[in-house]
Structure 1
Amino acid sequence: MLFTVDIGNTTVAIAGLEGERVAFVKKLPSDPGLNWPAALRQLLEGVEAQGAVLSSVVPALTGPVGEGLKAITGKPVLVVDKTTPTGLDLSGYDTANLGMDRVVDCVAALAMYTTPVAVFDMGTATTLSVVDRGGLFRGGMILPGLALGLEALSARAAQLPPITLSQPEGLLGTDTVSCMKYGALYGAAGAIEGIVRRLEEELGGLTVVLTGGNSTLVRPLLGIPTAWEPHLTFLGLGEIWKGNN
């Protein structure tokens, strides 16, 4: 088994990868104050792994989580950064502030789907990453995530309450809460459809892949064909591990 770790802005997600199968996913909050060696040992108690690989968009957590995983596995952790060979051609992109989670997603998508491919990762932020027919990372977009957009509405408008997202029961809301919910969900779906239409005009045929926690809510609302892979980042980390071991 391989520990594959995605350190995000909200959660640190750890998946146990057995070949191409995700055996489990466990999560901890992205809390810099956590005693990470102790927390990880408790979370992964009784699970043996041959090693660990991680990607991170929270630099302050990369070291503590990596050291905790090293203590558990007894082996150095492969931290995917800009120097790590991934097989993805980044020559046309300024990588100074590129989140490695986007790279990892694209590595998995290239292994699983035909190009050109567009990956929408719907988490705290919604990121779009595009790889063209020749395997070149063309770039993408970063949009506010669904929860972030709703939090901004609630914070800046006195009469708009905090809400919890769930699957819509129709197209039009009939009260303030449902109007906010439907606006966020159908707005995200409309944005994806519009972006994909423009990408197809530029790149030709396109494989659209959705991943991330909010993708389960948005995908049923889309009027375009998509692939859905909830474990895309973990699978990409597994591919990178294989390429470096």
Structure 2
Amino acid sequence: MNIIVDYGNSSAKVGIFNQRALVDKHVFREENQLKDFLQNFSADHCIVSSVNTEAQTIASWTTAKNKFILHHTLPLPVKNLYATPQTLGVDRIAGVCGAQDFFQATNCLVIDAGTCITYDFLDNKGRYHGGGISPGLTMRFQAMHTFTARLPLVSVTENPLLIGNSTETCMQSGVIHGLIEEIDGVIRKYSEKFDGLKVILCGGDTGFFENKLKASIFASPELVLSGLNSILLYNVSR
């Protein structure tokens, strides 16, 4: 049994895998809850990806026989061509490895819709090239409120007006329709450049976007967990 820990900015996701199958998932918003769970769960292997608490500390809480920390020196099942691998977000490389695991020998564009929108390209030879980073939904609303004198802090709405008729609805129209067009536009550019492109959407806002995009996508909210598990299996087998 494998235990996978993905500790983000606001919460920790824990996936339990039997080989490649995700059999259980937990979300912890308090560090002490995560610690208690890990100390009381028996697993053969563990991998930790963290942008929050020190990953080595989290790994020390588990009783797993083999423990791995995701960082830029850990061997990967893809070839990393990123110019500055030491600055690459661990969630981005995990998502790409998840895409590789699902769609081998396929050009893949991984779109992670979370705090930021990240675009990551993996070619059909298993080589990761990089991509793009853009502000996410909530960040765009917060930025307009923070960097202007009078614009309010507006929340996301499921079906924004195209033609806003108030400051609030105009902001919702601009952010949401604008971001949908951005994502569709990026997908179109990649599709024109790379044959047989598979687009995989993941991240916290997957549910919001998956039925709003014109492009054909494969929605995989747990892609990062699956990618971390594939990295773990790759290193266990070495």
For the aligned pair, the TM-score class normalised by the smaller chain equals: 0.7 to 0.9
1:43-58 superposed matches below 5 A: 43=37, 47-58=41-52
Show structure 1 runs of 5+ residues with no match.
Answer: 30-35
Give the conservation status (yes or no) of the 8 Å contact 2:12–2:34. no
1:49-68 superposed matches below 5 A: 49-58=43-52, 61-68=54-61
> Which moves more between the two structures, 84-93 or 100-109?
84-93
Q: Name the residue aligned to 1:41.
A: 35
The alignment status of 1:109 with 2:102, answered yes or no, reads no
Q: Find the residue that maps to 1:77 and give its secondary structure.
A: strand
> Which moves more between the two structures, 103-112 or 155-164?
155-164
In structure 2, how many angstroms separate the alpha carbons of the residues matched to 1:89 and 1:116?
14
Give the conservation status (yes or no) of the 8 Å contact 1:10–1:124. no
1:79-98 superposed matches below 5 A: 79-91=69-81, 93-98=83-88
In structure 1, how many angstroms separate the alpha carbons of the residues matched to 2:119 and 2:67?
27
The alignment status of 1:199 with 2:190, answered yes or no, reads yes
Change (3 A) 1:169 1:45: farther
User: What is the total number of aligned residue pairs between the two structures?
Assistant: 234
Cα drift, residue 169 of structure 1: 5.0
Give the conservation status (yes or no) of the 8 Å contact 2:6–2:50. yes
Cα drift, residue 45 of structure 1: 7.5
Give the conservation status (yes or no) of the 8 Å contact 1:26–1:43. no
Give per-residue Cα distances to partners, 1:1-52, cap 9 Å, x unaligned.
Answer: 42211122333222223341241221226xxxxxx4x432335586433332
The alignment status of 1:8 with 2:38, answered yes or no, reads no
Which residue, 142, 150, 166 being the options, matches 2:133?
A: 142
Change (3 A) 1:197 1:76: same
Cα drift, residue 181 of structure 1: 2.5
Cα drift, residue 170 of structure 1: 4.5
Show structure 2 runs of 5+ residues with no match.
Answer: none
Give the conservation status (yes or no) of the 8 Å contact 2:11–2:27. no
Give the conservation status (yes or no) of the 8 Å contact 1:9–1:124. no
Cα drift, residue 128 of structure 1: 0.8
> Which moves more between the two structures, 91-100 or 129-138?
91-100
In structure 2, how many angstroms separate the alpha carbons of the residues matched to 1:16 and 1:163?
37
In structure 2, how many angstroms separate the alpha carbons of the residues matched to 1:139 and 1:169?
32
In structure 1, how many angstroms separate the alpha carbons of the residues matched to 2:103 and 2:173?
31
In structure 1, how many angstroms separate the alpha carbons of the residues matched to 2:36 and 2:185?
45
Q: Find the residue that maps to 1:82 and give its secondary structure.
A: coil
> Which moves more between the two structures, 153-162 or 140-149?
153-162
Change (3 A) 1:133 1:51: closer
Give the conservation status (yes or no) of the 8 Å contact 1:189–1:219. no
Change (3 A) 1:18 1:112: same
Change (3 A) 1:77 1:175: farther
> Which moves more between the two structures, 93-102 or 161-170?
161-170
Cα drift, residue 222 of structure 1: 0.7
In structure 1, how many angstroms separate the alpha carbons of the residues matched to 2:39 and 2:54?
21
The alignment status of 1:231 with 2:226, answered yes or no, reads no
Give the conservation status (yes or no) of the 8 Å contact 1:12–1:28. yes
Q: TM-score, normalization: structure 2?
A: 0.87
